[in-house]
Structure 1
Amino acid sequence: MTDAHYPPCEVFAEDNKTMIGFEPDLWNAMGKVLGVEIKPVSIDFAGLIPGVKSGRYDMAMECISDSAEREQQVSFVNYAYATNEVYTLADNKSITTDPLTLCGLKVGVQAGTDFEHAVTDILNPNCSKNGKAAIAVTRLHSADAVLLALYAGRIDFVLNAAEIKKVAPRPQALLGALNVLWRNGEYELIMHKWDLQPVMLEQPGINLFSTRPMK
């Protein structure tokens, strides 16, 4: 079993059924060596270890970090190192390479992952030692929900792998294209063509219900 919403580890292909990623490649190759067919099932990340521990599933594979606490519940077969990085929106200039610039901000984490431990065990003690406010943690059910919270302005940054940059900017890219049309007047021409002047925006944006509500 896995949580197929975490590229490049695993994610659903366009058919919304087939799982692709480096871990599906890995578990399929392992299955051939073992002479067995791997039948992956996608569930919430928080249920992976309990699913193995209870015997409901034979194994879990979803970029799960090894830890002393987790080793008391299940056995790990390790195959890679794990690294984290800070990811925020391009217009956020307050966050720099200095980890103290994260103090007092809001971070989003997927429930059940190690990212919260990185905040509580590493970042926040560093903030406290330097007289800074703690980082506030918002727990969300999936990586997609974490990114949506970032785009909506409900959190300031996320901790995640570099691969997230390849999939996360899609709303930003779409907004960029829309802004080009807005600046060159084509947006207005299209809206006028279809008599949609009453619903035209002063300027396009992302998640405007939350970030720029009507007054």
Structure 2
Amino acid sequence: MDIRLPGARARRTKRTAVVGTALAALLPLLAACGGGAAGGEEGPAAGGAAPAAQRKDAKLAALLPKKVRDSGRLVVAEGDDYPPLVSLGEDNKTLVGVEPELMRAIGQVLGVDVKFSTASFDSIIGGVQSRRYDLAIQAMLDKPERRRHVTFVDYFRTSSSLLVQEKDAGAVKSLGDLCGRTAAVEKGTAQVEDVEAQAKKCKAAGKPAAKALVFPDSVGCFQALSTGRATAFVGGTPTVAYQAKQSNGRLRQVGEPYNFLPYGILVNKQDEQLVDAVQQALQKVIDNGAYAKILKRWGVESGAVERATVNGEGAEDGGSAA
């Protein structure tokens, strides 16, 4: 079912309420979820100036669907609470992070504006299938079962990791340590499946099952972790590492990252020319150095890929995990 999140005003009210409670004492990092720089300024993990604007490639622009060419814009589904990949800027409305910067650069190559439409993670596949969105980008792993529904243009190499409070860092090092414990996970993500699979392993070993506490967004996950409802958050390594760093030692990334896969831009399977346009535009951004500058600004250079692949083709050779 394709469900949209509440409007921006409702999301900001929720975010303010969360930061104003116990989270404010334990997790100043959640304030940082909305505290990145507005467009054109350096982000919180920035290591240099913003990349220069991209030149339009007329041949690639011609591959765009007619409705996109006529409107002069790409409608892209995106989240707003998964830093450093995406978060709200200081104005509490501009999207900042790796993904927004990358999509804007791709849009410049294609000669169109990028209009972001905030959507829940578990709605974006259906939204691309139904053409509510031209594209979607939201830290979604390019997995074979998802390729039955959409095509992925891969832009980043990543993995999954565990985040815990400092007091639990000695006891929880891996999924195997979650037996009898609760892990916060975001709805629709691969990490939900990871915790559920671990629960079965726990039972098979005669141990108490692990429990997945599923939330519609990462804000709920971090609130559960901060208040002790969950022992761990299981999520993408870039966000886990970012949150650990922002917490000033109160949170720890534990164990070794696992499940190394690429993140991909979602495209409707029938839009083959759009796939080509996005793939080639991304490759131009990689080749001219703008891609590397974007990743450096947000401190995730280790997830860089050298080639813009489709549906994971050759992704294992494209770079290391963040």
User: TM-score, normalized by length of structure 2?
Assistant: 0.50
**Aligned-residue offset at 1:9:** 0.9
Kindly tell me: are residues 165 and 83 of structure 1, through their superposed partners in 2, closer, same or farther at Cα, counting changes over 3 Å?
Answer: same
| 1:140 and 2:219 aligned | no
Q: Decide which of 239, 243, 262 is 1:164's aligned counterpart.
A: 243
**Aligned-residue offset at 1:76:** 0.8
2:196, 2:211 within 8 Å by CA — same for their partners in 1?
no
Q: Find the residue that maps to 2:162 and give its secondary structure.
A: strand
Q: Which has the higher strand share?
A: 2
Deviations 1:31-74 (A, max 9, x none): 11111111111121121111111111101001111112211111
**Aligned-residue offset at 1:134:** 1.8
AA at the equivalent of 1:134 = A
RMSD, aligned CA: 2.1
- Tell me the equivalent position of 1:43: 119
**Aligned-residue offset at 1:143:** 0.3
Number of residue-to-residue matches in the alignment: 171
Identity %: 31
Q: Find the residue that maps to 2:87 and give its secondary structure.
A: strand
Deviations 1:142-180 (A, max 9, x none): 10111001111111111122222234x28x69xxxxxxx
Supply the distance in 2 between the matched residues of 1:94 and 1:101 (Cα, whole angstroms): 10
AA at the equivalent of 1:163 = Y
Kindly tell me: are residues 110 and 96 of structure 1, through their superposed partners in 2, closer, same or farther at Cα, counting changes over 3 Å?
Answer: closer
Within-5 A mapping of 1:36-185: 36-92=112-168, 95-97=171-173, 99-121=175-197, 123-160=198-235, 161=237, 162-167=241-246, 169=247
**Aligned-residue offset at 1:88:** 0.7
Structure 2 unaligned blocks of 5 or more: 1-76, 252-322
**Aligned-residue offset at 1:128:** 3.9
Structure 1 unaligned blocks of 5 or more: 174-215
**Aligned-residue offset at 1:81:** 2.0
**Aligned-residue offset at 1:94:** 5.5
2:162, 2:174 within 8 Å by CA — same for their partners in 1?
no
Kindly tell me: are residues 98 and 84 of structure 1, through their superposed partners in 2, closer, same or farther at Cα, counting changes over 3 Å?
Answer: closer
AA at the equivalent of 1:80 = F
**Greater Cα radius of gyration, structure 1 or 2:** 1
Within-5 A mapping of 1:5-20: 5-20=81-96
**Aligned-residue offset at 1:23:** 0.8
Higher relative contact order by CA 8 Å / sep ≥ 6: 1 or 2?
Answer: 2
Supply the distance in 1 between the matched residues of 2:228 and 2:242 (Cα, whole angstroms): 21
Kindly tell me: are residues 17 and 48 of structure 1, through their superposed partners in 2, closer, same or farther at Cα, counting changes over 3 Å?
Answer: same
Supply the distance in 2 between the matched residues of 1:66 and 1:151 (Cα, whole angstroms): 30
Deviations 1:109-141 (A, max 9, x none): 1111111112223x3344345332221111111
Q: Decide which of 104, 107, 112 is 1:31's aligned counterpart.
A: 107
Q: Find the residue that maps to 1:164 and give its secondary structure.
A: helix
Supply the distance in 2 between the matched residues of 1:66 and 1:99 (Cα, whole angstroms): 21
**Aligned-residue offset at 1:97:** 2.8
- Between 93-102 and 46-55, report the one with greater CA deviation: 93-102
Deviations 1:72-105 (A, max 9, x none): 1111111222211111111125524354322111
